[in-house]
Amino acid sequence: MTSSRIVFAIAILYIKPFSTAFWICYFLGGLSDLLDGFVARTLNQQSEKGAKIDSIADFVFAVSIFIIVLKSIFLPLRFWCFISLIFLIRIITYSIGFYKYRTFSSLHTYFNKASGLLIFMFPVLYVILQLDVAGGIVCFVSFAASVEELMITMKSSRLDRDCKGLFLREER
């Protein structure tokens, strides 16, 4: 199920943006994201490998949406600055995590989930709210999620992918 999100993410790159086929693949990719975790928990099939694949699928889907936005929407400089800063923080965080834990260390915090949801919803938000509001919301939440993950990664002595947040985690 998680792998289907990668397939849908790649498919939307080859479909006319904002067409019916685009929206079908787009929403099916989002639905797979909602269902994979639920199904894994319900069937007691959660695993470290599954969590890694989920993070990779989220990343691929987000990159696909970003590419669609690049091809279809003019982004003002202020958004490029935000996107560059978020990207830099993520690279630093993943580098620190890889150094400390010797593995890819993306966390499933509430802020990261909210950021992922907003990135997924960006095309819809763009249509409803227009670029300034939609872009501002996505950039602000994604920036906050990136900073939170950096702080958790720097402070944690062990990797806990299911950490809920900076002030919501249990030190074990």
Residue 82 has pLDDT above 80, yes or no: yes
Residue 139 tokens, joined = 């950039």
Residue 55 near residue 106 (C-beta atoms within 8 A)? yes
Residue 65 tokens, joined = 């949406």
Per-residue confidence (pLDDT) for residue 101, from 0 to 100: 94
Distance CA 63, CA 127 (A): 19
Residue 172 has pLDDT above 50, yes or no: no
Closest listed residue to residue 37, CA positions, set 105, 91, 97, 113: 113
DSSP state of 74: P
* Mean pLDDT (the chain, rounded): 90
State CA 35 to chain mean position distance: 16
Residue 172 tokens, joined = 């074990």
Give tens-digit pLDDT for 90-139. 999 999 999 999 988 888 899 998 998 898 888 889 989 999 999 999 99
Per-residue confidence (pLDDT) for residue 169, from 0 to 100: 54
R_g of the chain, CA atoms, integer Å: 16
Give tens-digit pLDDT for 63-79. 898 899 888 889 999 99
Per-residue confidence (pLDDT) for residue 56, from 0 to 100: 87
Per-residue confidence (pLDDT) for residue 134, from 0 to 100: 96
The residue whose two tokens read 């993520």 is: 90
The residue whose two tokens read 């996505």 is: 138
Closest listed residue to residue 141, CA positions, set 108, 164, 124, 116: 116
Give tens-digit pLDDT for 20-69. 999 999 999 989 988 888 888 888 888 878 878 888 888 899 889 889 98
What type of residue sits at position 98?
Answer: F
Residue 147 near residue 156 (C-beta atoms within 8 A)? no
- Residues in contact with 141: Cβ distance below 8 Å, sequence separation at least 6, in sequence order: 111, 114, 115, 118
DSSP state of 16: -
